[in-house]
Structure 1
Amino acid sequence: MKKLLLATCLLFPVISFSQKSVPHAKIYDLLLGGYTGPNATKGITVYRFNAETGQATLLNQLDGVENPDFLAISNNHKFVYACNVDTKGGEGSVSAFKFDYLTGKLELINKQPGGGSNPVHIILDKGDKNVLVSFYSSGSLTVLPVNKDGSLGTVSQTLQYTGSGPHKNQKGPHVHASLFSADGSKLMVADLGTNKIDLYNYDAAKVQPLTPDNPAFKMTAPGDGPRHMEFSPDKKFLYVIQELSAFVRVYSYNDNKLAFVQTIAMMPDGYDKNGAADVHLTPDGNFLYASVRGNADKIVLYNVDKQSGKLTFVERYDVSKAPRGFTIDPTGSFLLSAGQDGNTINIFKIDKASGKLTLTDNKIDIPQITCLKWVAVK
């Protein structure tokens, strides 16, 4: 029986467990990445995680990787890709690594210029043919081909966005994330700066695989700032977190078309320092969680109506400061919230009947973590 491995952008040890003590435990690997520096992380770190006890232990660490603020894992789990931020404002880059899920060992293959500034998100297509990188500061998205040995080629396509929005943080385009449809033929791109979800056709056989769809975009509300997106497990609904308004917008997705369903607030009326960040659903699709930073530092829980896709607010939970990234383990048993500025990953137990969270005594003390990912282990 195949086991899943955990790949998440986070770092440094603090917990241990014994695999032998739980013979049939569900064990995963967790990859962590974030910002590097004297008081930050060292590079990319791999933990082993027990999904029955919620305990984690350091497995391996690759130092010297510059600001790997977001990671992507190849579908065969043999390679890891990281976007590297130049904190001085220069061009970002993209790194490729060999990955051994048994030992957690990472080995650099090559590194390429990314073609934009301040990369904040990276994904691969279904066939591991290309990586797609979102650049916040330059407001662009680039495509880099992946070679058979896992190495990266040079940029093959660049999409440069234009426009602005009414919010003070929307003076220009800010591409924040992209997401493929289930069959990989469509791509959605969240532009925080222009309040748009740009829509594309995707053909991996072409050197420049992206062409505008019809319609070419879907508008959100003025000042929303679309950031991260996730499909429901049945792929019928798309959930988009809005960084600047701290709302979650719900869309139905039928025949490759988005239709608006609902907008729901993350914070009470009057909350004006918004910084919504990440959004994830449980594997069964019953519950959605979203994180908000600003002066809130919360994980927000919603019930999901699977027929309509609509959300109902349940509770908010305090987490370590600046929860830019969080993840749910593949069994749906634990939620791990990374406090980028609190330097701690909180580990919550999920009640599978209600979705409610209970903070455990387990945690990972790691500075400046920004992304968390899961990877299947054979």
Structure 2
Amino acid sequence: MKRIFQRYATLSAFALLPFGLIYGQQKPKPHHMSGKPSNAPYLLLGTYTNSGQSKGIYVYHFNTQTGEATPVSEAVTTNPSYLAVSPDHRFVYAVNEDSGPGGVSSFAFDHSTGQLRFINKVPSEGQWPCYVSASSNGKFIAVANYGSGNAVVFPVSKGSIGAPADQVQHTGTGPVADRQEKAHAHAAIFSPDNKYLFVNDLGIDKIMCYNFAASTGKLSPATAPFVQVKPGSGPRHMVFDASGKFAYLMTELSGEVLVYNYADGRFTLLQTISSHPADFKGKIGSADIHLSPDGNFLYASNRGDANSLAIFRRDKASGKLSVAGFQSTLGVMPRNFNFDPGGNFLLAAHQESNDVVIFKVDKQTGSLTDTGKRIKVGSPVCVQWISSR
């Protein structure tokens, strides 16, 4: 978690900015479409602004044929360390992972210009919010507050965030004293069928499972209220495959991927596999996890001393993984990464080296080749996409 790598500082520069500029949109930049495919998606990058090297959310036009990213616009907001896009791609939600009480901001996205228009901001009801996701019906968002160990569901209407619909507070500790001294909710993920909310808690080594009422946003403990993960492993991010039958959990502290069979709120462990080579002896700090768009490979990012991506071949029938290789991310602290919608490129965001490295993906082998292309931006920590229209 970034708390062990980065100290929070308050920038006096933000205090001097007028309210409308802090949470609004800067003057639009020219958006040149010449030479770009009409169906090219927009790339969104969330950043940490407390380093003084970034301003908030950055929007690019991404050419899925060449891997070229062209700046389009930026929205000034503090520490938007994680972003979620609404199912209809009309709105963007961002946590504001500020020191002390955090916030959640919403923006409307203009597909014709690539501009983000600020809608509103509400308290996250906790400290250091680090994750936000949108329900499949588009009516709610869920936020995980790492610092306070709680998760909150907010209603949204036309992109505007309302008062909390419900929230849950976790308690407990884990064996790693400096990281698991209390609960640390690290992700809040809606189930594929929108019936459950799963909250990965790094501090207590559990996936907490809640029934989710899709009409009201209310939460209640599921029949199986939690999944116990190996003590000291620190569950972080999780993804489901397209069938909804398999889930893949990334553990930050132990650097492992856990493969689960999933059915109606219940997880059955199938496999545990390391995201590091067998002879790795350095510091572990794993982070993000994604399936390739075709579902044939799974990738996991490692920070610590590794600064790498683990590449796994996936058996779609069994859900199990086998190691296909490891790739240096060519930067420092790959906190987040993602594929372009077509799966042709993988973008690795480096919090400490202040860049996004663009790799070409070999869809047959899963291997990655450096394109030589870089996006220079301060402390990039989230990669998301919005489709063109």
TM above 0.5, one fold? Answer: yes
Counterpart residue number, 2:5:
none
Shift of residue 375, structure 1, vs aligned partner: 1.8
Deviation at 1:128, TM superposition (A): 1.7
For residues 222 and 375 of structure 2, the distance between their equivalents in structure 1, rounded to whole angstroms, comes to 43
Q: How many residues align?
A: 357
Partners of 1:284 and 1:351 in 2: CA distance: 12
1:162 maps to 2:178: no
Of 248, 251, 258, the match for 2:257: 248
For residue 371 of structure 1, what is the aligned residue in structure 2? 382
Match of 1:120 in 2: 130
Distance 2:67 2:32 in 1: 12
Where does residue 80 of structure 1 map in the other structure? 92
Q: CA deviation at 1:26?
A: 5.0
Residue of structure 2 in register with 1:5 after alignment = none
Supply the distance in 2 between the matched residues of 1:114 and 1:99 (Cα, whole angstroms).
Answer: 22
Counting only pairs closer than 5 Å after superposition, residues 105-184 of structure 1 correspond to structure 2 as 105-147=115-157, 149-168=158-177, 169-184=179-194
> 1:230-256 CA deviation, whole Å, 9 max, x = no partner?
011222110000000000000011244
- Could you say which residue in structure 1 is the equivalent of 2:344? 333
For residue 352 of structure 2, what is the amino acid of its counterpart?
D
Q: Deviations over 1:88-146 (max 9, x none)?
A: xx210111111112211111111111100000000111122111100111000011111
Aligned to 1:229: 238
Match of 2:82 among 70, 81, 93: 70
Note if 1:41 corresponds to 2:50: no
Q: Which of 312, 321, 324 matches 1:314?
A: 324
Cα 1:184–1:236 shift into 2, 3 Å: same
Runs of 4+ in 1 over 6 A off after TM superposition: none
TM-score by length of 2: 0.88
- d(CA) in 1 for partners of 2:44, 2:35: 23
**8 Å CA contact 1:120, 1:177 repeated in 2:** yes
Separation in 2, partners of 1:239, 1:204: 24
What is the alpha-carbon distance in structure 1 between the residues aligned to residue 51 and residue 307 of structure 2? 25
Q: CA RMSD in A?
A: 1.7
* Match of residue 12 from structure 2: none
Asked if the contact 2:194–2:214 (Cα under 8 Å) also holds between the matched residues in 1, the reply is no
Which of 248, 263, 273 is the matching residue for 1:239? 248
When residues 194 and 38 of structure 1 are mapped into structure 2, their CA distance, relative to the original with a 3 A threshold, is closer
Q: Share of identical aligned residues, percent?
A: 43
Distance in 2 (CA, whole Å) between partners of 1:26 and 1:275 is 37
36-45 or 288-297: which moved more? 36-45
Equivalent of 2:218 in 187, 191, 209: 209
Give TM-score, length-normalised by structure 1.
Answer: 0.91
Q: Distance in 2 between matches of 1:38 and 1:189?
A: 29
Is residue 354 of structure 2 the alignment partner of residue 343 of structure 1?
Answer: yes
> Are 1:277 and 2:290 counterparts?
no
Deviates more, 1:131-140 or 1:247-256: 247-256
SS of residue in 2 equivalent to 1:76: coil
1:216 to 1:28, Cα distance in 2 relative to 1, 3 A: same
CA distance in 1 between counterparts of 2:190 and 2:35 reads 40
Distance 1:143 1:256, change over 3 A: closer
1:355 aligns with 2:366: yes
The question of 1:220 aligning with 2:237 is answered no
Aligned partner of residue 132 in structure 1, secondary structure: strand
Question: C-alpha distance in 1, partners of 2:33/2:78?
Answer: 32
**Residue number in structure 2 paired with 1:264:** 273
Q: Which moved more, 1:254-263 or 1:280-289?
A: 254-263
Q: Secondary structure at the match of 2:226?
A: strand
Report what 2:23 is aligned to.
Answer: none
- Does the CA contact (< 8 Å) of 2:150 and 2:169 recur in 1? yes
Contact 1:73-1:375 within 8 A present in 2 as well? yes
Distance in 2 (alpha carbons) for counterparts of 1:192 and 1:62: 31
Residues 25 and 304 (structure 1), Cα distance of their counterparts in 2 relative to 1, 3 Å cut: farther
1:299-352 alpha-carbon deviations (Å, 9 max, x no partner): 111111111111111211112100000001110100000011011100000001
| Contact 1:81–1:95, Cα closer than 8 Å, also in 2 | yes
How many angstroms apart in 2 are the aligned matches of 1:155 and 1:255?
26
Which residue matches 2:4? Answer: none
Question: Would the aligned equivalents of 1:230 and 1:279 in 2 still touch at CA under 8 Å?
Answer: yes
**What does residue 197 of structure 1 align with?**
207
CA contact 1:30–1:372 (8 Å) conserved in 2: yes
Letter in 2 for 1:39: G
Distance 1:93 1:53, change over 3 A: same
- Asked whether the equivalents of residues 25 and 52 of structure 1 are also in contact (C-alpha less than 8 Å), the reply is no
Instruction: Name the stretch that deviates more: 305-314 or 110-119.
Output: 305-314
Provide the secondary structure at the position in 1 that maps to 2:82: strand
Amino acid at match of 2:228: M
